[in-house]
Amino acid sequence: MKLKLNRRVFTFSLLILTIVVFSNLISCDYITENNKAKIEKEHQKEEVVTNMNEAKILVQASEYNLDVIELCEIIKRETKEDSIREMLNGIQNEQEKIFEKYKEVASNNIITLPRFSELATTVEGDVSTDEDLKAYLNLMNSKIYHQRDLIKRLSDTTDNSSFKTLADYASESLRNSLKKTNETLQELEKDT
């Protein structure tokens, strides 16, 4: 009888031990899965924030781009000097190509870009003197410079290959545009 009782106690103890071990294993799996889900959710949030920042930078760069295109139009309308018109045509063509690249990347990444410059409503368009021309060219230079900085920041912070390709293309064109406006400004300085 004592042997039967010990056997029952042993079996019951073994059953309890087995239940405790399995419940611990199950709860550990639950905790591990729960932690994995939390980590994945945080990673997705970080990705969304990164995508939002990239979109914001691209939108800002496109605003500067459209402003430069508008400034080229304003100055070309008002100036009579062929060399300046030629330089502006080159910059405008480069900026339009960059904007097409911006639109392509934005479309692929579901980003909405502005389509018009707001500069036309704030700038009068009087380029009757060399000083006015210099002021407009300096404004254009500033907008190109800011656009280049935004594109550099985008290139430095993104892992998106289409943004990197865009940044490489735009950086070279923007560097050329800056060079052209700086050379023109230096020529105007010599003349005065």
Per-residue pLDDT reduced to its tens digit, 121-167: 666 666 677 788 888 889 999 999 999 999 999 889 888 888 899 89
Of 30-44, 45-59, 95-109, 155-169, the one with minimum mean pLDDT is 30-44
Asked whether residue 104 is assigned to any structural domain, the reply reads yes
In the prediction, which pLDDT does 119 show?
76
* Domains identified in the chain, total number: 1
Asked whether residue 122 is assigned to any structural domain, the reply reads yes
d(CA 135, CA 124): 12
Residue 51 has what DSSP assignment? H
- Residue 86's domain spans which residues? 58-191
Asked whether residue 14 is assigned to any structural domain, the reply reads no
Query: Which CATH number does the domain housing residue 103 bear?
Result: 1.20.1260.10
Overall pTM surpassing 0.95 (yes/no): no
Asked whether residue 110 is assigned to any structural domain, the reply reads yes
In the prediction, which pLDDT does 81 show?
85
Asked whether residue 45 is assigned to any structural domain, the reply reads no
Token look-up 């900085």 returns 149
Residue type (1 letter), 11: T
**What is the percentage of the chain residues whose pLDDT exceeds 90?**
31
Asked whether residue 53 is assigned to any structural domain, the reply reads no
d(CA 192, CA 190): 6
In the prediction, which pLDDT does 25 show?
59
4 pLDDT above the threshold of 60: no
